[in-house]
Chain A
Amino acid sequence: MSKEELSRGAQDISQVINRQISSKIEYLQGIKESIESHNDRRVFQLLDNRRYAAEIEHREQQPNNQDVMNLVDDLADQLSTYLSANLIDYLGHAYPFFYYEEYQTGHFRIYFGNWWDRRQFGELDVLNLRFVFNQDEYKKLSRAFELQQSGKRYNSVRIDELSNENDRLQDLLDHSREREQKRNRLQEQLRDANSHGGLFESSKAKESRQELVDQLGQVEDEAKQAENAAEKIKENEKTVLELSKENTILSYEMKSITDTFGGFEEFELANRKLYADYLKHLSTLTDGKQVTSDEQ
């Protein structure tokens, strides 16, 4: 390469570098200013320009500037905490049954409801403006809505099973006195038979003695079952209570969703639209400060 080519090359590359650096500075300035002026909407736009363009401006396939996007990666938690203030405020109205706990900077757990035994339902992804629901809990809820259509409850079948078993076991227990009496009677009869036995015992006597032994064995089996019955009944009752609690929690959750959204599908739709709905809401804020609910 000639000296001129080298020097022109050096100029070119320095321009490239300067351009890149300017671009980075612009980006960071943008974020800094947006935060200073509480312009949450602009922060979201800067964090994910492509999504913003697609969902808000309806301009498809705007590429993200990869060079700058990761500049604030190490500030993700702090940005999350910062942006959560307005978001949680908004969600307080849109999803009145969700409660949040910041267990770590920028990380939020969602609790469904403030009732007795409410469940942890997932996490709130602030930067991406989406709910990350715990799949097991979410599926239970979805299933509960389905079952409600046919008038059933989530754990009804299992609860019925256990209740029936308890009835059977209780029956065993209830008859323990009679069983005890029968056992005593058989034992006495056996003692009698034994005392008259011995070498000269007739085969008939032997037969009837054997029958006594068999009957006694059966009674003792039942007695053993009954021994554990009390404990098993308690265990089952505990399980039934847990299952019933779950049913109750689900019914409360369903009620909340129905009261706020009308139905499960509407709830799911709202979840999908959270990004767009929230950013639209943010653009109604003046000076980045939250408008009071009266003014909304």
Chain B
Amino acid sequence: MSSNERVVSNTINQVAALSNSIKEGLELGQQYTSLVDELISTTDDEKLLLATKRLSSLDLTNAFVQLPQHYQVADYFLLMMDRLLTLHQIEGFEIFEDHDHQLTATIHPFEKQVTFAFAFDDEHQGAFFNEGASQESLFFIDLDNRQLRFSNHALVDFFVENEFQHFSDLDLQEAVKPLVDFANLLKTQLGFKIDLGILNPTNAYNVRLAKPTMDLTMIDKLFVSTADSQYMLFTLPHKNGALLKLDAGIQLRIFYDQESYSHEWFYNVTDPDDQVSLFDLLIHYPLLREWYLANRDDVAVRSLPLILQSVTDERPTDGQLTSSREEEADDQD
């Protein structure tokens, strides 16, 4: 073959190669757009989850086709959350896009005063749901392992301590509702394991104390603060803690488990309708809120690290991560 012919066939190859590369790039773009379309239009929860997962792992970098304006992984999470809530007629949650195509959310009745967004964590392949100004991470969601966990510490910091100064207790309760609804939807529709922490309203749920034991002086202080209120603090029949009787049959127990060797302390909230959580009490009762914040180091609830390790890890003995798929019984270890 002559050298002239060789050069010609090489160039043709190169052109073909470029054309293929551009085609791949365009296919990538096509894939991207169809996933985004799926995300915003599907009415099936599983498909919604799948689209989010696939978008999260999609690498859009391509040398030949560039999408200068597109969304980030965190935005897909927010979209998914918004879509899931909308599909199930949960109101109060709205998302907005800024000029950078970044999505943020607002919750009624906070409106624009407070914004939320997800932040994706590459290392742990999950996303934190953060408040804009303080960057407090209220919960962490892991799509692959289907888990969601709230941070008790952040919930107290953000709602009980800070926002309390700007909003009423009813407002705060309303604002937290879409978050709880979201978690419950993940559990009932998509079989997620969720840990609502202090937002859990179930009567059987016990929240563990962060410290190994409760200093009884702390309960003395709570006792003293009831003097100016209409509420009374009783001793539990087995002398293993105290019982605060509140309104409408709501009872708060602060107690240690006599059966267990370690005598760990717990909070437990019971009410006739199984609807009231410790969070609700901290928001509604100044008596409790002030006591909790003033003595936080000693009386705070345990707040587990948000990053969940693999599912086979140690299960907390209190308020176990509940999943509707596996129908775990509410037994305490």
Contact = CB atoms under 8 A, between A and B. Distances in A.
Contacts, number: 35
Interface stretch (A12-20, A61-69, A110-118): A110-118
Given A248-B227, A251-B227, A114 B235 contact: yes
A251 B224 CA distance: 10
A113 to B, nearest CB: 8
Interface in B187-225: 217, 219-221, 223-224
B234 A115 contact: yes
A244 interface: yes
B225 to A, nearest CB: 8
A245 B224 contact: yes
A275 interface: no
Contacts of B223: 115-117, 245, 248
B233 interface: yes
B122 to A, nearest CB: 46
Interface string B222-240: 0110110000111100000
A118 B236 CA distance: 12
Given A241-B217, A241-B220, A245-B220, A118 B235 contact: yes
Interface of B: 217, 219-221, 223-224, 226-227, 232-235, 242
A115 B227 CA distance: 12
Interface string A234-252: 0000000100110110011
Name the residue in B219, B223, B224, B242 with the highest tally of chain A Cβ atoms < 10 Å from its Cβ.
B224
Please tell me the size bucket of the interface on A: 10 to 19
Name the residue in A114, A115, A245 with the highest tally of chain B Cβ atoms < 10 Å from its Cβ.
A115
B17 to A, nearest CB: 74
A244 B224 contact: yes
Nearest to A247: B227
Interface in A226-274: 241, 244-245, 247-248, 251-252
A114 B224 contact: no
Contacts of B227: 244, 247-248, 251
Nearest to B234: A115
B233 A115 contact: yes
A254 to B, nearest CB: 11
A248 B217 contact: no
B326 to A, nearest CB: 40
Contacts of B242: 116
Given A115-B223, A252-B232, 6 more contacts: A115-B232, A117-B223, A118-B235, A244-B227, A247-B224, A248-B226
A118 B242 CA distance: 12
